[in-house]
């Protein structure tokens, strides 16, 4: 039997230099078992996450924010679909961040993000996030360097505030190789059920691969903190990606030591007719 997933090795330590070459997107060594055993482990994690999420919702005290970032085809949608398939949808919400609207662009870059953070008892998943402001906007020179560079500090201050107000912030960078991305793009093109996911921008964006890698490395270095750590998730193997992300979320939600609220009435005084 496996001893579970060794999650600590995938945390970006605050202040640590980050290089993609230090993280193998094929790696699954954090799990002692193989893919078949991982499926059994995942079933157990699903049940645990379902119970923890129900406690979160019932207790109405804590908040959990899960941030997912990745290159195109990195697996954000698949991760959400797989990990959260068994939770109660009344207490879970997914927020997507695409191109800012005219109204959003008239405000600071965190304005639209702050409106989407979880409330008490809620688990919210960001499918892309405020980090687009130091990734795509940097790579495509949408804002000057002095603007995107100061955003690291602004992001850290924002996430510290969330943490101090009772939000558990967990950030996952789903790390795939350039070769795996190519394979997945071709898979989308050949599968009629996946062609809707394909964008003509996908091949064009691949030309900026190195620029994106540099942007991700600096973002991870500058914004992995004690209150909002980054996890680099080897994501070429979908089964390990899902297992690692679920293990981290369950571990941190367990640490909240949540309890179901107790009835503040004398049960003997209640009559059911």
Instruction: Name the burial class of residue 18, with classes exposed (0-12), middle (13-18) and buried (19+) by CB atoms within 10 angstroms of its CB.
Output: buried
The domain that contains 73 carries what CATH number?
3.40.50.300
Residue 1's pLDDT is 40
Residue 170 lies in a domain: yes
Domain count for the chain:
1
* Residue 271, in any domain of the structure: no
Domain span holding position 144: 8-178+211-258
Q: Is residue 119 part of a domain?
A: yes
Write down the pLDDT at residue 141: 96
- Structural domain includes residue 265: no
Give the N- to C-terminal CA distance of the chain in Å, as an integer: 51
Sheet holding 123-127, edge to edge: 92-96, 123-127, 63-70, 167-175, 230-234
Q: For residues 87 and 123, is the Cβ–Cβ distance under 8 A?
A: yes
Supply angle C-alpha 80, 86, 91, rounded to 5: 80
- Decide if 222 is inside a domain: yes
Please report whether residue 270 resides in a domain: no
State the 10-residue block means of pLDDT for the chain, 273 residues long: 78 94 94 89 93 96 98 94 89 93 95 97 96 96 96 98 98 97 91 82 89 98 97 97 96 96 77 74
**Gyration radius (Cα) of the chain, Å:** 20
Distance in angstroms (rounded) separating the CA atoms of residues 251 and 38: 17
Residue 272 covered by a domain: no
Q: What is the pLDDT of residue 3?
A: 57
Q: Give domain status of residue 204, yes or no.
A: no
């Amino acid at each position: 039997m496996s001893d579970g997933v060794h999650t600590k090795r995938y945390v970006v330590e605050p202040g640590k230099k980050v290089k993609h070459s230090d993280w193998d997107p094929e790696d699954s060594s954090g799990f002692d078992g193989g893919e078949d055993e991982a499926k059994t482990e995942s079933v157990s994690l699903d049940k645990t996450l379902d119970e923890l999420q129900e406690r979160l919702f019932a207790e109405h005290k804590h908040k959990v924010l899960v941030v997912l970032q990745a290159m195109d085809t990195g697996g954000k949608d698949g991760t959400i679909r797989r990990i959260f398939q068994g939770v109660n949808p009344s207490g879970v919400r997914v927020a997507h961040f695409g191109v800012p609207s005219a109204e959003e662009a008239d405000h600071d870059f965190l304005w639209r993000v702050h409106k989407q953070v979880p409330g008490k008892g809620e688990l919210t998943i960001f499918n892309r996030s405020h980090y687009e402001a130091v990734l795509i906007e940097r790579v495509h020179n949408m804002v000057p360097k002095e603007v995107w560079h100061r955003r690291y500090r602004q992001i850290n201050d924002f996430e510290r505030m969330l943490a101090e107000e009772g939000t558990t912030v967990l950030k996952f960078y789903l790390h795939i190789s350039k070769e795996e991305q190519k394979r997945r793009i071709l898979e989308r093109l050949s599968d009629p059920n996946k062609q809707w996911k394909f964008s003509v921008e996908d091949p064009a964006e691949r030309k900026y691969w190195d620029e994106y890698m540099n942007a991700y490395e600096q973002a991870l270095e500058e914004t992995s903190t004690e209150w909002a750590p980054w996890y680099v998730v080897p994501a070429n193997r979908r089964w390990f990606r899902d297992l690692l992300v679920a293990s981290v979320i369950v571990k941190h939600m367990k640490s909240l030591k949540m309890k179901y609220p107790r009835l503040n009435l004398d049960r003997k005084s209640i009559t059911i007719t």
